[in-house]
Amino acid sequence: MSDNVKDKNSLLDVKNLRTSFYNGNSKTEVVRGIDFTVQKGEILGIVGESGSGKSILVKSILGIIPSNAKVDAGEIILDGKNFESLSKKEKRAIRGRDIAMIFQDPMTALNPLKKAGDHLVELLIRVRGMNKKEAKLEAVELLRMVGIPSPETRVNQYPHEFSGGMRQRVLIAMALACNPKLLIADEPTTALDVTIQAQILELLKKLQQENNMSVVFITHDLGVVATICSRILVMYAGMVMEEGLAHEIFYSPKHPYTKALLNSIPRVDGEKTRLKPIKGTAPSLQSIKSGCPFAERCEHAMEKCFMEVPEYKNFSATQKSMCFLAGEEDRLDD
């Protein structure tokens, strides 16, 4: 415990988390030893292509992975509480009280046969111990807070009567109902139109500041990360490739994968460079044997990269990168 207290500001500490999918006798590790912390009051972005294991990473923390997956190892400490020492029931109590989560697809995340308000009421009764009457009033209030017009009527409507953006707002209201210390947002804007995306991001940022929550924001979209996150984790094939403050990642990326990611998005700051898509596709996790997982697609890969996994190199108190060549700028910039 003692070395966990070193950082009074940290809310969530994850150490060496490993999660695998099991199919009969074959095992596929999708989260491959991840360490990270979430500070109080920060928005941490986790960026990666689809299949990089970012979603299963947070689901492992919450304990809502599919039945054919299993967390093999790892230590999770939330606000001084080590998950290992908690019973099943105590862990369940953390979900929805300390940690709340919003999901990628707002169309399927609500029970189609329950009114929007009932989702909130049920939660308020269970988590906040309200009675039915209080909960109903609070539900209207929450819908108002997330910017749903005429919440008094909306509260009695079924999910199919809401648009995608409005449903995501209902889900955010559910998260707020719990008054969580940590909000996990798993690609909350991916399924939405661009204009709605901006509104939802705006809302999340506002709510985060008002309630002083920590937010873990998962996305494959660096553009989204840039507008909202203060710190970024770049994931690839179940591992963290690089970690740093937003400006460090955007202006002095050290890892070839981060650079490649940045090169593959259009820049708005005027500099005209060619967009470079990353060669190849994300590897199937079953095929990875040894070495750096990005080696196959890396322009700078050396023989060594296929043999052993690089150690992290620290570049500042906040930035570290997992690459043999990280920091050797002359060799990385061609």
Q: Which residues bind other proteins (CB under 8 A)?
A: 23, 62, 64, 67-68, 92-97, 100-101, 103, 105, 108-114, 122-123, 126-127, 158, 160-161, 171, 174, 178
Closest to other proteins by CB, 93 or 309: 93
Q: Which residue has the tokens 């940022």?
A: 205
Q: How far is the CB of 111 from other proteins (least distance, A)?
A: 4
Give the nearest distance from C-beta 100 to other proteins in angstroms. 7
Cβ 254 to other proteins shortest distance, Å:
34
CB of 41 to other proteins, least distance (A): 22
Q: Which is nearer to other proteins, 214 or 258 (CB)?
A: 214
Nearer to other proteins, 51 or 293 (CB): 51
CB of 281 to other proteins, least distance (A): 22
Sheet holding 214-219, edge to edge: 99-102, 182-186, 214-219, 43-47, 231-236, 239-245, 320-321, 313-314
Shortest Å distance, C-beta 182 to other proteins: 12
Kindly tell me which of 167 and 231 has the beta carbon lying closer to other proteins.
Answer: 167
Nearer to other proteins, 92 or 247 (CB): 92
For other proteins, the closer CB: 127 or 332: 127
Is the distance from CB of 177 to CB of 138 less than 8 angstroms? yes
